[in-house]
Amino acid sequence: MILLLRVDHRLLHGQVAVSWVQGLHSDCVFCVGDKIANDPVWKTTLKLGKPAGCKLVIKDMEHAIEAINSGVTDKYRMIISVQTIAEAKQLVEGCPQIKSVNLGNTKASPTTKEVARQVFLEPEEFEMLRELVDKGIEVEVRPLADDTKIDAKTFL
């Protein structure tokens, strides 16, 4: 069961390992991305941040979509973590069972606009999020599990 699809450029860290895993009673963190799946340093770093009693799975996008759609992940109470909005959009488009995207932490750059605490969007990311919302996908900002949801429609 997918409990959360989170966009966070750090993937797995204190907010996810403590607030989200505990708050949602998750037993699996699924880190998805072509870059991280093929980077030994990223994989080692993620393994160090894995919460006790929680499974960590790291896959590239193609194999993640395949695993989710096959049903092999259904036995877990799963948090999926991706680094970018583009990756979240790709996952949503490949897995029709995903109905919600959480924006937790995105990188600031000279071309981004801050829309909420810790959430900075590039111009093209606004369009990606509008496309998701137009398809009926809930897009919300919430750094911690106990925080109040901010509906992305308020800044799109």
| Close Cβ partners of 38 (under 8 Å, ≥ 6 residues apart) | 60
DSSP 8-state symbol, 146: T
The CB density around residue 99, as the number of other CB atoms within 10 Å, is: 13
Q: How confident is the model at residue 16 (pLDDT cuts 50, 70, 90)?
A: confident
With CA atoms as reference, report the closest residue to 82 among 46, 127, 52, 108.
Answer: 46
Q: Report pLDDT for 13.
A: 84
Structure-token match 């980077």, residue found: 39
Residue 68 has which token pair? 């989710």
In whole angstroms, what is the distance from residue 81 CA to residue 33 CA?
Answer: 9
User: Considering only 12-16, 75-79, 132-136, which range has the smallest mean pLDDT?
Assistant: 12-16
* DSSP at 97: T
pLDDT of residue 60: 98
pLDDT surpasses 90 at 80: yes
- In the chain, what are the domain boundaries? 2-154
Class of domain 2-154: alpha beta
Work out the average pLDDT over 16-25: 90
Q: How many CB atoms lie within 10 A of CB 41?
A: 8
What is the pTM for the complete model shown? 0.95
Is the confidence at residue 18, as pLDDT, over 90? no
Coil/strand/helix, residue 12: coil
What would the two tokens of residue 135 be? 């398809």
State pLDDT tens for residues 22-59: 999 999 999 999 999 999 999 999 999 899 899 999 99
Tokens of 27: 């037993």
Mean pLDDT to the nearest integer, 140-152: 94
More confident residue, 18 or 73: 73
Assess whether pLDDT exceeds 90 at residue 98: yes
